[in-house]
Chain A
Amino acid sequence: MKSIHVSTTVNGDPAEFICTPDETLLDALRDRLGLTGAKEGCGTGDCGACSVTLNGRLVCSCLVLGAEAEGAEITTIEGMATGEALHPLQQHFIDGAALQCGVCTPGILVAAKSLLERNPDPSDSEIRYWLAGNLCRCTGYDKIISAVKAAAAEMRSN
């Protein structure tokens, strides 16, 4: 299969890669660009560990082709902090012990950020339904919900 040349923007920086026509965006990010923050937990869009945004839309990057990134704006977990300054969500996940093994954490943070951009003051129930596509097997979700709420409150007050 002849590879495709893709020009895209990742976390604000221009990026280019080649990929095969059937290669997922997740594989292109991980294997071509070395951005291994997004994880493959299932490869079928069921676990959310590979969550990124594509032109502002939250997607499972295992269900998007690398070729679809052409001309698009992609953000990943690697672009969430600003230099050394963590995003409030990242800080509250650490402070609130909202991670154990941490493998679902990048996807959950990307998804939660996407939620807060749409709804700066979500209820518990809204957070739980928004994150229903992101599986976590360690925490029982409790501290994740609390950390998202705390981050949202801090972001509203700034």
Chain B
Amino acid sequence: MVKVLLWGTLRHATDGQAEVEVEARNFKELLDQLVAKYPGLEPQIKRGVSMALDGRVYREAWFTEIRPDSEVVLMPYMVGG
């Protein structure tokens, strides 16, 4: 299981939990599992999310490997100037 830290706004879809656990070996599985387990997350995941894995931010990259002890943080899709 991978622990995923969600930003505050997403807690409405996870019964108030700021951290959830899903079975996932990569970013794609993680997103799929999150949607399966917490359908309320789907609109935001469809709009776009970034993932910080052990401190490094990925904007896409489905097949980025996630280890069970990885620190995973979901973030809104990042935009810049």
A and B touch in the complex (CB under 8 A): no
B residues engaging A (CB < 8 A)? none
